[in-house]
Structure 1
């Protein structure tokens, strides 16, 4: 994440040199969306907890995929942007809950790709823990962005948490069956339909007052905003 932030800062400054933007005066909107790779791989090289029981059984995540490490990586990137970039609003989109999405199945190819992309979600032992781990990620991110005040120290920079994917469930068709048309061939990454829903949900949440963001991708503040016009 830190390297990505450095790349973005360098790109913005280069754009300023070319005259494409005014780095000092133009407002900038950055949206940070991190996929579920950490969550999908947290159970690799799993070990037994000794002094601290984190979950209901004895399996603990590898340290590199812990909520603390996950949040620290994001914090380093946000700290750099806050230090280097004036007039910027950063939106951090919360990670979706992976296990419900793995209910999408279309055949052996789909199952094979899911097993490769998200092994922890298909393991019967660790899949049950992924919801708890997902919540640890989300709560740690919420503390960093909303509760700490770390990014509320400048008049021209702030960070907003967008939670509309936090409780995402696998979409169903009119017959109540899980609908694979929202996903790409691997039955894991979103296809155009789901990308459209995610884009609309982000836009709708951008219209919400601070602290009133929805964790439901179908909810909207747009109607209430229009009533006030």
Structure 2
């Protein structure tokens, strides 16, 4: 089902093991892929020479969409990016804030505690999300009907878009990645989005929010 080129996209590389695993799923089993890519590009949108525009982001994502669209019986989750600029608002205490300001300046400079950079980054997050919505609509549409695998569909999952994760226990000690509690929160949001119909999907999730339970006739959406 998957092409043999080892380099599908600047954002998507697969292994032979993944191809064999997909083959073992059987001829009629739907497969689920979640594709969240480009977050590291947002770390540099305020840097001279490091900025990846929304159009460039879409161009990088397109080969990944094209590759996955050709695989039959595939449900592709496309989560929208969260507002990563919230990282600048996490209050670690006086010394912790000094540490995180220095660390973010090194690993994700545009998400640090600098107002002008945050404004640029926040705008670009919205632009990236807009491109993802456009790509999903395009690859679900008639223009790709002849090349799209049978039963394959792309679904925008907006659970992270307005989720608040600026509490210290939701961010790991590297000041950048979600902690175990943060991962649990995002997983809860994705799970519930999967069971919410199009047009009724939540764009945020809170800790302790009830998990939705699938019914016997439920379909992923």
State the match for 2:3 in structure 1.
none
State the match for 1:111 in structure 2.
101
Work out whether 1:98 is the aligned partner of 2:84. Answer: yes
CA RMSD across the alignment: 2.8
Q: Deviations over 1:125-173 (max 9, x none)?
A: 22222222111111111111136644873541011111111123234xx
Q: Deviations over 1:9-64 (max 9, x none)?
A: x43432366xx432x43211001122521111012215xxxxxxxxxxxxxx73xx
8 Å Cα contact 1:105-1:180 kept in structure 2: yes
8 Å Cα contact 2:45-2:120 kept in structure 1: no
Q: Which of 18, 40, 44 in structure 1 is aligned with 2:43?
A: 40
8 Å Cα contact 2:46-2:120 kept in structure 1: no
Aligned-pair CA distance for 1:6: 4.5
8 Å Cα contact 1:5-1:81 kept in structure 2: no
Q: Give me the whole-angstrom Cα distance separating, in 2, the residues matched to 1:33 and 1:14.
A: 23
Q: Deviations over 1:159-192 (max 9, x none)?
A: 1111111123234xxxxxxx31111111221001
Could you list the runs of 5+ residues in structure 1 that have no partner in the other structure? 47-60, 172-178
Q: Give me the whole-angstrom Cα distance separating, in 1, the residues matched to 2:13 and 2:109.
A: 31
Work out whether 1:28 is the aligned partner of 2:31. Answer: yes
| TM-score (normalizing by structure 1) | 0.75
State the match for 1:168 in structure 2.
163
* CA separation of 1:170 and 1:13: change in aligned 2, threshold 3 A: closer
Aligned-pair CA distance for 1:101: 2.4
Q: Give me the whole-angstrom Cα distance separating, in 2, the residues matched to 1:39 and 1:3.
A: 15
Q: Secondary structure at the match of 1:102?
A: helix
Q: Give me the whole-angstrom Cα distance separating, in 1, the residues matched to 2:186 and 2:108.
A: 21
State the match for 1:142 in structure 2.
133
* CA separation of 1:212 and 1:138: change in aligned 2, threshold 3 A: same
Which of these two proteins has the greater Rg computed from alpha carbons?
1
* CA separation of 1:200 and 1:35: change in aligned 2, threshold 3 A: farther
Residue correspondence of structure 1 range 1-229 to structure 2 within 5 A: 2=9, 5-7=12-14, 10-15=16-21, 20-22=24-26, 24-34=27-37, 36-45=39-48, 62=51, 65-83=52-70, 85-106=71-92, 107=96, 108-122=98-112, 123-146=114-137, 149-150=140-141, 153=145, 154=148, 155-171=150-166, 179-218=167-206, 222=212
Q: Give me the whole-angstrom Cα distance separating, in 1, the residues matched to 2:21 and 2:85.
A: 41
Q: Deviations over 1:188-218 (max 9, x none)?
A: 2100111111111100010111232111123
Could you list the runs of 5+ residues in structure 2 that have no partner in the other structure? 1-7
Q: Deviations over 1:77-101 (max 9, x none)?
A: 0111112x21110101111111122
